[in-house]
Chain A
Amino acid sequence: MNFTKASELLELCNKHNKKIFEIMIERESFLTDMSKEDIIAKMQISLDIMKDSIEKGLTEDIKSMGGLIGGDAKKVMERSKTSRSVCGTLMSRAISRSMAVLEVNASMGKIVAAPTAGASGILPGVIITIGEEFKIEDRELVNGLITASTIGMLISKNATVAGAEGGCQAETGSAAAMAAAAVVELMDGTPKMALDAAAICIKNILGLVCDPIAGLVEVPCESRNAIGAANALISAEMALSGVKSIIPFDEVIDTMYKVGSSLPMELRETALGGLAMTPTGKKLQKQIFDN
């Protein structure tokens, strides 16, 4: 069994009365000969690495390789516990955890690329926080990660998840779409709702450029992982409420690819445009590489 479009996936889900993650597990077994149990066990390892990276980012003193980030995730978590949270604590915990993973990544810590290292904070930040809030067991969270990978697979197949090809929309946008679909399935939404949530996510940040200072996965990547987590939660909330994406997922992904291709090279991970070329951005770049 295989599928390359969301429309085909939806047909399979409806025909067999299965969730997205169940269809994806069958596809994986078909492609790789791995048993369902082995797939689940392997994904549990990824979930454990995600948890460890959050823990590390929120408890240890982190300094990134380029020296631009470290310690901000803790600040957000601290405020969510001690002050009147503007976003509500669920959102601020998710934001903080996404930032924590990104800080660990930038300091040569261990993470799970999801779908890339530059966007690696969003999925763990969202999934772990939803698990905590609604007391969802690991074995279900693992299913959520498999739902997420289905969305990422469809984007990789029909567009791209690389910032160098499609800009930040392709990285943090894809990660947010993956996380949104996972949340919808974890909260008992339908496959159609999950795909709507993913489509809404991408639409929300269509055209976002990739312009990291000094070309490093630090600034503005960390705050874009935070907004990615928020984007995922917002889109999931809308889809679970019955809000539909007027433009279907497959068409949104095709569009994301076209928009990415039409971005100038300077705004696709080359550090030759956007924030990287601000006076401060240039100064920091010089400082980092002259050292």
Chain B
Amino acid sequence: MKDYTIFDIVGPNMIGPSSSHTAGACRLGNIAYKIAEKSIKEVTFLLHGSFANTYRGHGTDKALVGGILGFDTDDERIKDSFQIAKAKGINFKFLAEYLGDVHSNTVKIIITKEDNTTVEILGSSIGGGNIVVTEINGLKLEFTGEYTTLIISHIDKPGMVSKVTAVLSEYQINIAFMRVYRHEKGQNAFMIIETDDEINNNLVIKIKDIEYVKKAYLINI
């Protein structure tokens, strides 16, 4: 946990009514939006626990859809997110579902992209607007978005870590935390890199150019 700053306490600036059920939900939607590379045709939200029981009264549903539209937690359009999504031709639905031994405020977001591929994100809103993502496309991992986060989807090959960190080093980016996950040896893998410094798009493009890197997303919330 980072040390509390002034604006962690007087803040976040947000659309009410609840930091965990509204602001946190919006952040989870927003992360899914970035991981789906802003291309969204259809979304199903599987709501677990307290999210499933109280989502209407807290506007959790509107906040999730707002996130999927790329809205930040303080965007006043969240209130009208259903209409905005419909106008954009995005279909969405909410289903209550038991998702196992997870945090009480958990959602699984299943996105069908415009190219008909799907992306699945599992994440929880853990209080005060803070969130944790615990699964992408069935692969267990963990990041909070508290730091600037770079998510790299790649093939599990020797030398991948050194190629990626070489680019970060070239741009003078300090890595706070870094983890590597994979389905199986030589198969799909993810790198999660949390940094102290802001990352610009040129760096992301350069990482995408590395052989065996499939995708790279920047999460900055």
Mark A residues whose CB is within 8 Å of B.
2, 24, 28, 31-32, 39, 42-43, 45-46, 49, 64-66, 104-118, 120, 123, 145-146, 148-149, 152-153, 156-157, 161-162, 164, 178, 214-218, 288-289, 291
Contacts and interface: CB of A to CB of B under 8 A. Distances in A.
Interface of B: 3-20, 22-23, 50, 53-54, 56-59, 62, 74, 76, 78-79, 127-129
B9 A117 contact: no
B46 to A, nearest CB: 18
B14 A65 contact: no
A109 B16 contact: yes
Given A39-B6, A215-B54, A109 B19 contact: no
A218 B22 CA distance: 14
A221 B198 CA distance: 38
A110 B20 CA distance: 15
Contacts of B10: 43, 46, 112-115, 123, 145-146, 148-149, 152, 178
A49 B5 CA distance: 19
A289 B57 contact: yes
B28 to A, nearest CB: 17
22 contacts: A28-B5, A46-B10, A49-B13, A64-B17, A65-B17, A65-B57, A107-B17, A108-B78, A109-B15, A109-B76, A109-B79, A110-B74, A112-B11, A117-B14, A117-B19, A118-B18, A153-B4, A153-B9, A156-B4, A214-B54, A216-B57, A217-B17
Contacts of A157: 4
Contacts of B8: 153, 156
A113 B11 contact: yes
A289 B11 contact: no
Nearest to B10: A149
Given A145-B10, A217-B17, A110 B5 contact: no
B57 A288 contact: yes
Contacts of A31: 3, 5
Contacts of B20: 164
Contacts of B6: 24, 28, 39, 43, 146, 149, 153
B42 to A, nearest CB: 24
A108 B59 contact: yes
A98 to B, nearest CB: 14
A110 B15 contact: yes
Contacts of B17: 64-65, 105-108, 117-118, 216-218
Given A157-B4, A216-B57, A289-B56, A46 B18 contact: no
Contacts of B12: 112-113
A65 B53 CA distance: 15
A10 B146 CA distance: 30
A118 B20 CA distance: 11
B23 A117 contact: yes
- Residue of B8, B22, B58 ringed by the most chain A CB atoms within 10 A: B58
A115 B127 CA distance: 12
A90 B176 CA distance: 49
B83 to A, nearest CB: 14
A107 B16 CA distance: 7
- Residue of B12, B15, B53 ringed by the most chain A CB atoms within 10 A: B15
B154 to A, nearest CB: 32
Contacts of A123: 10
A153 B1 CA distance: 13
A112 B59 contact: no
B98 to A, nearest CB: 18
Nearest to A106: B17
Contact of A156 (B9, B54, B59, B78): B9
B57 A214 contact: yes
Contacts of B57: 65-66, 214-216, 288-289
A133 B138 CA distance: 58
Given A24-B6, A217-B18, A112 B13 contact: yes
Contacts of B9: 114-115, 148-149, 152-153, 156, 161, 178
Given A112-B12, A115-B9, A116-B19, 4 more contacts: A49-B74, A65-B58, A149-B6, A288-B56
B127 A162 contact: yes
Contacts of B129: 113
Contacts of A65: 17, 56-59
A216 B56 CA distance: 10
A164 B49 CA distance: 15
B57 to A, nearest CB: 4
A128 to B, nearest CB: 14
A83 B36 CA distance: 58
A185 to B, nearest CB: 14
A42 B7 contact: yes
